[in-house]
Structure 1
Amino acid sequence: MNKKFSTTQFVWGVSLFLALFVNLPIIFLQLPRLEKSGIAQLDVLIQVLVCFFYSVFFIQIVYNHSKSSHSKTKIFFEIFIIFIVFVFVLTTLNVLIIGLSMKMFPTVLMRGILIGLIAYFFCRFLIETERKNEILLENEHLKSENLLVQLSSLKNQLNPHFLFNSLNTLSWLINEDKGKSQRYLQKLSQVLRYSLSMQEHSLVPLKEELTLIDSYIFLLQMRFGENLKVVKNIENIPLQIPPLSLQLLIENAIKHNIISTESPLHIWIESNESDKTITVRNTINLKQNSGGTGIGLVNLNERFKILANREIEIEQNEAFIVILPLISY
């Protein structure tokens, strides 16, 4: 409805402009008599109204046929008919009502041709503008679909990595301590349930992600004990984050660094409300051949580029630091 309404407004506006434009000489000639002569007022009114309706019908014919598969011959025939009707009606009104002679017939023809030419080009402009808008909308739709496909692919690449490492940890605990393995399995099921439930979500509240991290840290500390120290300093910020983002960073720290009594691993998770970011920082004591593929951080960065139009920040000096942008609702 809005599109039709705006198109109608455009057609009427163009038609009124054309009607006034082609009749400017007549309006100027009649201007001195407009206040005193009713015939002069009627003359101007008739010229403008007839030209206005002629322009409206002309544009509608060209515009409507552009949306259909009608032949050019049919369009030309209908334009010719509306032109003949315009000339006949305006000439008749000029002679019978205004009292003009047939000598005005050529001016009627010229006005009809001029209106037709200008109206045609205005109409083509309207058609091309609509086509460009349709192409832009289609491109935006395809872009959105492509982003969703990319996002789904990236999420699916993260989850098998998480599951593989979790099962390895469970297998190790079963051999080490069956009592602990039961508690571990309970927490692991909570983490996996969260992971599965988040498959259809691109973003989750930060609070939910932190609940996952609490369970995940519990699992890790059952294995590493005092050799793994995690400190959280998180403000209650009503923002969102891609699911499993923090879990991935903690997992990477575990994967690449030595964790022992002599070299405990420290991880700090801190939020910054003013910058709307969350920072994960860990000490560095790399394992041998722990370079890895880097696909985890690359995929995580791609997710943030798609969802937040921002990239993650990575710094490495005395500690390894990853800064994640948080996303508003």
Structure 2
Amino acid sequence: MNKNFSTTQFVWGVSFFLALFVNFPIIFLQLPRLQKSHIAQLDIVIQIFVSLIYAVFFIQLVYRNSKANTPKIRHSFEILLLLVAYVTVLSTLNILVIGLSVKMIPSVIIRGVSIAGLAYYFSKFLIETDLKNEILLENEQLKTENLLVQLTSLKNQLNPHFLFNSLNTLSWLINEDKEKSQRYLQKLSQVLRYSLSMQEQSLVPLKEELALVDSYIFLLQIRFGNNLQIIKTIENMQFKIPPLSLQLLIENAIKHNVISTASPLSVWIELRDNVLIVRNTHKPKPNSEGTGIGLVNLNERFKILAGREVEIEQNEQEFKVVLPLIPE
């Protein structure tokens, strides 16, 4: 069922209940006269209808102001204004249409205050329910984003190109340097194991993420040699970060930039003022424009988990991404 439709049903249903509840004494007193007097019928219709509209507007006012973080003074003034409007309209109809005395105005005020008190309670219930639904929706969105990032990472690692390059490098190392080939195999298994083990994690300690980066850097530098330089400047490890964030940014830098002896690629990973800055030299390959899905997914994860978006800056010399960190 549509969320807005459900909210509307709730507001009107509760408002109708409140209109009947506060006007029950009048309805009870008029019951003996209902069949004989049109005035009695009109009296009940007017009391219920005006109270119903008042309750609907009251609940919607409290709900809207809460969502908009309206200042308390303005919020209180609007509630008072609505109460005055209710008392004025209903009292005027009672006097001019029903022919009642001005002595019934205190009764109208009491009913208006009663509806306001009860409607305020139901408004808060509606606001809390809406907040819970938003949290559930964000959690589901986060799970989806995590799965997409994990799937993308696994596809990048387990695709034929990655395995071919890794196994080709390993085969060469076995013949050239058996000791280094064993280290290479160990680092490769660490990268794959980490990726598989992070499927259920939303956040990981920065220390663990950097351990993965170290293994990943080892694999890359065996392949690219001195043509790829990755420099880390991180002293404080007391933070958390969405898993595979740094690997994604390093992959992007390698995928979209030229790496050669004439044009080496440098990547810097630096911690400054509770943010992680990942920047690289910008020498794009011809026709290397990507879809940008990886960065979009990464931004969504940080927006939900850290409450801040990822900052991206680019110029002719450098591409920079700023990741907000979450203190442990």
TM-score range, shorter chain: 0.5 to 0.7
Deviation per CA, 1:254-304, whole angstroms, max 9, x where unpaired?
Answer: 11112222222111111103xx11111111222221111111111111212
Corresponding residue for residue 218 of structure 1: 218
Structure 1's 70 and 113: CA in aligned 2 closer, same or farther, altered over 3 A?
A: closer
Offset of residue 189 of structure 1: 2.8
Structure 1's 196 and 122: CA in aligned 2 closer, same or farther, altered over 3 A?
A: farther
Offset of residue 229 of structure 1: 0.9
Structure 1's 156 and 184: CA in aligned 2 closer, same or farther, altered over 3 A?
A: farther
Offset of residue 147 of structure 1: 1.1
- For the 8 Å contact 2:230–2:268, the answer to whether it is kept is yes
Corresponding residue for residue 140 of structure 1: 131
- For the 8 Å contact 2:269–2:277, the answer to whether it is kept is yes
Deviation per CA, 1:101-157, whole angstroms, max 9, x where unpaired?
Answer: xxxxxxxxx9x9777654433221122111111111111111111111211222222
Where does 1:194-205 land on structure 2 (aligned, <5 Å)? 194-205=194-205
SS at match of 1:177: helix
- For the 8 Å contact 2:22–2:114, the answer to whether it is kept is no
Structure (1 or 2) with the larger CA radius of gyration = 1
Scaled by the length of structure 1, what TM-score is found? 0.62
Identity of aligned residues (%): 52
Corresponding residue for residue 207 of structure 2: 207
- For the 8 Å contact 1:277–1:324, the answer to whether it is kept is yes
Q: 2:213 and 2:195 mapped to 1: Cα distance? A: 12
CA RMSD in angstroms, aligned pairs only: 3.3
Corresponding residue for residue 83 of structure 1: none
More displaced, 132-141 or 196-205?
Answer: 196-205
Q: 1:71 and 1:118 mapped to 2: Cα distance? A: 11
Residue from 147, 159, 164 that aligns with 1:156? 147
Query: Partner letter of residue 165 of structure 2?
Result: W
Scaled by the length of structure 2, what TM-score is found? 0.62
- For the 8 Å contact 2:170–2:184, the answer to whether it is kept is no
Q: 2:17 and 2:222 mapped to 1: Cα distance? A: 72
Corresponding residue for residue 296 of structure 1: 294
Query: Partner letter of residue 254 of structure 1?
Result: I
Residue 130 (structure 2) pairs with residue 131 (structure 1) = no
Show structure 1 runs of 5+ residues with no match. Answer: 1-62, 81-109
Structure 1's 130 and 73: CA in aligned 2 closer, same or farther, altered over 3 A?
A: closer
Structure 1's 236 and 320: CA in aligned 2 closer, same or farther, altered over 3 A?
A: same
- For the 8 Å contact 1:256–1:290, the answer to whether it is kept is yes
Q: What is the aligned residue count?
A: 235
Where does 1:178-327 land on structure 2 (aligned, <5 Å)? 178=171, 179=174, 183-273=183-273, 276-317=274-315, 318-327=317-326
- For the 8 Å contact 1:151–1:303, the answer to whether it is kept is yes
Structure 1's 256 and 181: CA in aligned 2 closer, same or farther, altered over 3 A?
A: farther
